[in-house]
Amino acid sequence: MKACIAALVAVFVSGFFGPMVFGQEITKDEIAKELKSLKARINKLEQEVTRKDKEIEGLKAKVEKPPETAFAEEGQEKWTDRITFSGAIEVEYGSEKHKVKEPGTGKSTSTRDDDITLSTVELHADAQINKYTKGHVVFLYEEDEDEDRARIDEGTIRLGGIKQTHNLYFQAGKYYPHFGELNSWFISDPLTCQVFKIQESAAEVGYDAEWFSFAAGMFHGDLQKKGEDESRIKGFFADANVHNQEDTLGGFSLLAGVSYLNNVADTDTLQDEVNQIRDYVGGVALYLVAEYNNFSFGAEYITAMDDFHAGEMRYAVDRNGNPAETKPVAWNVELAYRPMDRLQLPVKYEGTKDIFGLFPERQYGVVVSYDLFESTTISAEYLHGEYE
């Protein structure tokens, strides 16, 4: 037993101090020299590990660097790294059946329209120009409207909106001022969007924080009051909303807000129906969007705040063909359920008021939407609308 232990000790020592001749005595100087050499090697390895750790931490910090500090070190990234692209391509098959009852006789006639269209091609380009400045451009093509040519649908410059600017920002360009949320899980735009959507070249200032956002802006507008100087900027809008960040309310997501527009006749649809306005008619929008687990809910109500005078809106004609006053209103309520990750089933009930047959008074519908692959969705929509 003692002989075995002696042999193991000899092997162990030889592993540390290199080959040696059994039976040869090692001096203290040689042991000290070997220990010194071993200590130097360990120190060198520790320095190398420390250097590698610093490199890893640096790479990790660069990857996790928040947007507001992403450009603290100018010139260390390619310009292409500052630009991101996204977009959408939508192809639709549609079948519409129109059934009209003749007044007095009660007889009805039906017509049907079928079509396949390249309804939407969108390309979004977002550029982080520097720490404080962002650029946003949207190219859009719609087959029914653009006659085989794309257009610049949006183009904006945004300054600030980060912690260093106390969440304050300034934005200017061509875009859709936030008048209502216009949210929907359907293929077709909701009636709130079809009636009250507005696109202008505008400028706004705002505050965008984790729980609250506010913005107010101005634009020239395409419609002016009768006899007013057309060179002056007269359009104004404002929006305020509360919202929660992800994972702050136990899986519950909430967005609720109110918007104001001083001249609803400037919205894209209504301005095509205007003869001449004597006074600006303001509008207000109330909206709510909530999500919890597999359920999503949205509700919105948008209304003019006063009447347009008789003769100001071409669509406002009574049954005798006489011009009438009008106070346009649109609303939309939707509920969506996702029984599985790939499948969503939204339903809706929406309508308008005092729009004289331009849009349905009441409309309901259902959608079946299935994600075939990543970023690839197929949907089927059914809508039934009743007109005045």
Alpha-carbon distances of 205 from 169, 215, 261, rounded to whole Å = 6, 6, 15
Nearest CA among 289, 215, 212 for reference residue 244: 212
How far apart (Å, rounded) are the C-alpha atoms in residues 11 and 125? 69
Instruction: Give the pLDDT confidence score for residue 175 in this predicted structure.
Output: 97
Share of the chain above pLDDT 90, in %: 63
- The helix/strand/coil state of 121 is strand
- Kind of pairing between the strands at 168-175 and 200-208: antiparallel
pLDDT one-digit tens code per residue, 330-375 = 999 999 999 999 999 999 999 999 999 899 999 999 999 999 999 9
Provide the β-strand partners of residue 290. Answer: 254, 297
Largest CA distance in the chain: 127
Write down the mean pLDDT value for the chain. Answer: 86
Summarised one tens digit per residue, pLDDT across range 215-235 is 999 999 888 777 676 767 889
Residue 8: its pLDDT value, please?
36
Give the range among 172-181, 240-249, 342-351, 371-380 with minimum mean pLDDT: 240-249
- pLDDT of amino acid 7: 40
Element (H or E) spanning 72, and its range?
none
Q: What is the pTM of this model?
A: 0.78
